[in-house]
Amino acid sequence: MSDTTPFEPMSNGEVYQPSSAFIAKANVPDWESKTIQAEQDLQGFWSERALELEWYQPWNKVLDDSNKPFYKWFTGGKVNIVHNCLDRYVKTWRRNKLALIWEGEPGDQRSFSYHALNREVCKFASVIKAMGITKGDRVTIYLPRIPEIIIAMLACAKIGAIHSVVYGGFSVESLHGRILDSHSKIAITADGGWMNGKIVKLKDMMDEALRRSPSVEHVIVIKRTGQDVMMEPERDLWYHDLMSLPIASPKCETEVMDAEDPLYILYTSGTTGKPKAVLHTHGGYMVGIYATLKDVFDLKDEDRWWCTADPGWVTGHSYLVYGPLLNGATSFLYEGAPTFPYPNRWWLMIEKYALTILYTAPTAVRGLMRFGEAWPNRHDLSSLRLLGSVGEPINPEAWKWYHRVIGKGNCPIMDTWWQTETGMFIITPTPVMALKPGSATRPYLGVAAEIVDADGQVVPDGEEGFLVLSKPWPAMIRTIYGDPDRYVNQYWSTYPDKYMTGDSARRDKDGYFWIIGRVDDVIKVSGYRLGSAEIESALVSHPAVAEAAAIGLPHEVKGNSIHTYVILRTGFDPSDSLKDEIRNHIGHEIGPIAKPESITFVDNLPKTRSGKIMRRLLKARAQGLPDGDITTLED
Ligand code: WTA
């Protein structure tokens, strides 16, 4: 180890170790002893962490596992996550600290101190309260990456309403399904958002989605892009009008919540059927994301944290909105595309705002890598001290580029493995840990990660198996909103008392985990989570499509891309224009991210005797791999 080059490859050339100078500045707990402590006394460990936050009333029990797998955390405790994100800070010097720095794609800028953010949140919370929203009501939020998305989420949480954020890249059917399933009373959207120099017309999509969603009484519209939009009298209200009325009082009490009261639902794609609403709570979720962000990114007061995820996905919820505020940090938010107007946009903003931590997805790294080193090299990136990765396995080549070109060899990369359902980092390094490019390293404190075979037996190190979690953790999914049976079946029915992640992985002799990928029918496209079943049902909703199958195949930049096989209805002939039509149809139904890379017209699809499409076989054939076990294949 040397102090001048913070990282040196170890003997095999694939292990990166932080320098002693870097370690001296890091404020990370002693991991070995903490790991043992958390292993021996899980509840004691989490109770200590929970005490770092403020509670209106302490809990009686850290973990209640009397009704497995419906685990409860901090039962009896009274809290509100917003109290810990804002209320407690505006009483201290921190009210003057920047909570949020924002840049729009056209280059406009806004920033909010903790005081200013709290004021906006209070005002908007007062508005929706005056409109009749109360504890437990659902609110759909469909917004671009503008400060109001954070304000809206926090305003809901403050008064105990349950937010359901729908990613602004989703289209009409996805939005409609989520509004319907959640029975939202109000929806919050914008006229549009900027993406790649174009306006994404969110309000138009909301209007279309609402034609069949009777539960929504009001739509609150933020003026962002300024073009004319239809405002339905009585139903639609401008945000800026509401915020200038006397009902927008800057004084608004934070609702006292039970630790187990729902904070939000977030729809995510599963193996079957339509996306399911993962439910997270005020208490345990708060403790989990607060502690993980603090430990893994060693957040310091002088940091400027940039999580590039959209708030519409879990990474945005946990580590863009709630986690940084719980830690009293300054966050950066950017509205638009990484390459607009040029591929140096991200690097320029890192320089301009002196951002210190960049947390992004491997697909973004690979995408920007394609433009070459000259773009980042034009900028002073010396403010960066840590990097992060999430959403899919990072290939060693991208890891090394990220490390060398963006981190200048000085910034450890925190490759964090987790899921919408886990709420928080589960397998992750710390900044002082030896890193191996492509490995998410080791389980977080108190996490019991195992790799098992089909019978639930732990496999020997080095062998691939199913990744399961055999102990509960506070930020875990509580249920699937409105469908508790599905929660049990999906995650807990394969092995008794073990949470099934849906990923395969192996562990090396040093105890480092290497995530291989999904073993179910979830496809990760550019880090976005989509389901084969969802894409197939969008396909068959096109009038020309009789049957369809969707699979993911490896893709150099996106990680995976969607390939589809379609049987046409009689009377329709295969053509390129029909392919385009079907692709656009999927764009309209789900969103542009779900548009398939290829559509192949076929006469039949491989099915099991019970009629299930054998996607595995399609995948093997497409990659020129052996068929595998086909004993269940229909004739
Ligand atoms: C994948 C995103 C490898 C994994 C936070 C998981 C990863 C799924 C990593 C969850 C990582 C996430 N390395 N794979 N560091 N992080 N994944 O719910 O397959 O959108 O099951 O949550 O992303 O996706 P989700």
- Nearest protein CA to atom 6 of ligand 1, as residue: 419
Surface-to-core class of residue 23, CB atoms within 10 Å of its CB (0-12 exposed, 13-18 middle, 19+ buried): middle
- Choose one of 418, 441, 468, 528 to mutate for the ligand 1 pocket test, by most ligand atoms within 8 angstroms of C-beta: 418
CA dist 102 and 112 (Å) reads 9
Give yes or no for residue 310 CB within 6 A of ligand 1.
no
- Judged against a pLDDT cut of 60, whether residue 4 lies above it is answered with no
User: 146-200 pLDDT, tens per residue?
Assistant: 999 999 999 999 999 999 999 999 999 999 999 999 999 999 999 999 999 999 9
Ligand 1 centroid–CA 395 distance in Å is: 14
Instruction: Specify whether the CB–CB gap between 157 and 281 falls below 8 A.
Output: no
Judged by average pLDDT, the poorest of 7-11, 304-308, 343-347, 599-603 is 7-11
Is the dihedral angle over the CA atoms 122, 136, 422, 480 positive or is it negative? negative
Instruction: Specify whether the CB–CB gap between 119 and 133 falls below 8 A.
Output: no
CA-derived radius of gyration, the chain: 24
pLDDT (mean) for 82-97: 98
CA dist 184 and 507 (Å) reads 43
- Which backbone phi and psi does 633 adopt, to 5 degrees? -65, 135
Give yes or no for residue 384 CB within 6 A of ligand 1.
no
- Confidence band, pLDDT 50/70/90 cuts, at residue 631: confident
CA dist 556 and 595 (Å) reads 17
Ligand 1 centroid–CA 119 distance in Å is: 35
Angle at CA 593, nearest 5°, toward 592 and 595? 65
Give yes or no for residue 255 CB within 6 A of ligand 1.
no
151: Cα within 13 Å, side-chain hemisphere: 31
- DSSP assignments along 496-541, one per residue: TT-EEEEEEEEE-TTS-EEEEEESSSEEEETTEEEEHHHHHHHHHT
Name 270's Cβ contacts closer than 8 Å, sequence gap at least 6: 276, 490, 520, 522, 531, 533
Please report the atom of ligand 1 found closest to the CA of residue 501.
21
- Choose one of 469, 515, 526 to mutate for the ligand 1 pocket test, by most ligand atoms within 8 angstroms of C-beta: 515
At 124, list the tokens.
């908007």
Q: What is the DSSP letter of 57?
A: B
At 2, list the tokens.
């040397």
Q: Which of 467, 479, 480, 540 is nearest to 173 (CA)?
A: 540
Please report the atom of ligand 1 found closest to the CA of residue 389.
15
User: 298-315 pLDDT, tens per residue?
Assistant: 999 999 999 999 999 999
- Nearest protein CA to atom 12 of ligand 1, as residue: 391
Name 527's Cβ contacts closer than 8 Å, sequence gap at least 6: 361, 362, 363, 364, 390, 391, 392, 559
Give me the pLDDT at residue 635, please.
67
Give yes or no for residue 518 CB within 6 A of ligand 1.
yes
Give yes or no for residue 412 CB within 6 A of ligand 1.
no
- Confidence band, pLDDT 50/70/90 cuts, at residue 270: confident
CA dist 164 and 184 (Å) reads 8
Give me the pLDDT at residue 171, please.
93
Ligand 1 centroid–CA 391 distance in Å is: 4
Q: Which of 333, 336, 389, 335 is nearest to 364 (CA)?
A: 389
Residue type, 409: G
pLDDT (mean) for 382-403: 97
- Nearest protein CA to atom 11 of ligand 1, as residue: 417
Q: Could you tell me whether strands 513-518 and 522-525 are parallel, antiparallel, or unpaired per DSSP bridges?
A: unpaired
Angle at CA 26, nearest 5°, toward 23 and 27? 135
CA dist 353 and 363 (Å) reads 23
